[in-house]
Amino acid sequence: MPIRIQSDLPAKEILEKENIFVMDENRAMHQDIRPIKIGILNLMPLKEETELQLLRSLSNTPLQVDVTFVAVSSHESKNTSMSHLNKFYESFADIKRRYFDGLIITGAPVEQMEYEDVDYWEEICQIFEWTKSHVTSTLHLCWGAQAGMYYHYGLKKYLLPQKKFGVYEHRVMNRKVPLVRGFDDCFMAPHSRHTEVRTEDIRKVKELTILAESEEAGVFLAIADEGRRIFVMGHPEYDRYTLDKEYKRDKEKGLPIEPPVNYYPDDDDTKKPNLQWRSHGNILYSNWLNYYVYQQTPYEFIDTAEILGSR
């Protein structure tokens, strides 16, 4: 089944060229099926790039996925045009009375700031609280995961002596949990962050279960409340060249940056990067949509009047 998005979203053409089935809202209206409703709170500066990565990740499922992009109102984006935001995004005020099967909260380039110093922190806290009653399962990514652990469990983040940057090996810690069904014992995944939530702090929280971690990069995946909250410390949605762009951008700015670990063949940044995480990234998103979104959405979240009226 397809991803359902607005017909003129720029990512649509790229996804179609990759043979990903994308359906616009006009065609979707004529299908007798209830799509699962996924919100994406996009906090990344290059929003169109993140849209493409996440839509690509959500496409590997037999379910029809209806995506709503959400932006915070308390921050002015400097890297995405207002015309794009006004056309394709909704505010929290627009959606807060609606229910969603799933919500993705992305990372954000504010990890070296104290949470309370982030200009949209109060709004993020309102969204975290709203998810408790209006979202079946929330998937938190990178800074979104750190912020979620801080809000829900009081876990602090710590500045790393050097940016955790590259592709790291991880080991599955609890194979019985459906979220990691189909994972190999060891798998690769990208990280790009200056801070961490310490593994020993996460272990102390009885509500949190660590599902995958790395000796070098720490916790990658944790789950709470039977999948109502999922925390991903890395970036399984990244495409082949995302780390390459970040590295060369920082290098051109003269910032202290080392080449991404386990990324370029022979550590040569002139060579095409190895794509080593796509299969497990796809499995992660498919498992989330199937086991924690589609199969867990309570009956009262479904707008039965709308469904019955269409028959």
Q: Please count the CA atoms within 13 angstroms of the CA of 273 that sit on its side-chain side.
A: 24
User: Catalytic one among 134, 142, 191, 280?
Assistant: 142
Catalytic residue among 134, 170, 235, 280: 235
Under the banding of pLDDT at 50, 70 and 90, the label for residue 223 is very high
Catalytic, 142? Answer yes
Active site residue 125: no
Stated pTM of the model: 0.87
pLDDT score, position 15: 59
- Residue written as token pair 């750190």: 146
Question: 140 pLDDT exceeds 50?
Answer: yes
Cα separation of 71 and 75, whole Å?
Answer: 9
- Averaged confidence pLDDT in the chain: 88
Distances (CA, A) of 104 to 58, 63, 70, 162, 240: 11, 17, 10, 27, 21
* Neighbouring C-beta atoms of residue 230, cutoff 10 Å: 25
Q: Is the pLDDT of residue 111 over 70?
A: yes
Region 138-166: mean pLDDT is 97
Structure tokens, 45: 């500066």
Average of pLDDT values for 72-79?
A: 80
* pLDDT tens by residue, 164-209: 999 999 999 989 999 999 999 999 999 999 999 999 999 999 999 9
Angstrom distance (rounded) from CA 127 to CA 124: 5
Q: Tell me the C-alpha distance between 152 and 147, whole Å.
A: 9
Helices 47-58 and 10-17, packing angle to 10 deg: 40
Q: What distance in Å separates the CA atoms of residue 159 and residue 161, rounded to the nearest whole number?
A: 7
Among residues 54, 94, 53, 52, the alpha carbon closest in space to that of 71 is found at 94
Tens digits of per-residue pLDDT, 225-251? 999 999 999 999 999 999 999 999 999
Residue 302 DSSP class: S
pLDDT-derived band at 42 (thresholds 50, 70, 90) equals very high
- Catalytic, 237? Answer yes
Q: Note the residue count of the chain.
A: 311
The pLDDT score that the predictor gives to residue 308 is 33
Question: What is the C-alpha separation between 5 and 11, in angstroms, rounded?
Answer: 9
Over 60: is that where the pLDDT of 25 sits?
Answer: no
Which range is most confident: 18-22, 107-111, 297-301?
Answer: 107-111
Which is nearest to 8 in space by CA: 19, 26, 24, 32? 24
For residue 27, give the 3-state DSSP assignment.
helix
On whether the CB atoms of residues 171 and 212 are closer than 8 A, the answer is yes
Say how far residue 142 (Cα) sits from the centre of its chain: 8
Q: Identify the bridge partners of residue 167 per DSSP, sorted by sequence position.
A: 190
Name the phi and psi angles at 292, rounded to 5.
Answer: -115, -10
Distance CA 166, CA 263 (A): 6
Work out the angle at residue 103's Cα, subtended by the Cα atoms of residues 152 and 1, and round it to the nearest 5 degrees.
Answer: 150
Beta strands in 142-260 (DSSP E): 158-172, 186-196, 208-214, 218-224, 229-232
Q: Which of 51, 111, 237, 280 is catalytic?
A: 237
Question: Nearest 5°: CA angle at 189, between 138 and 162?
Answer: 100
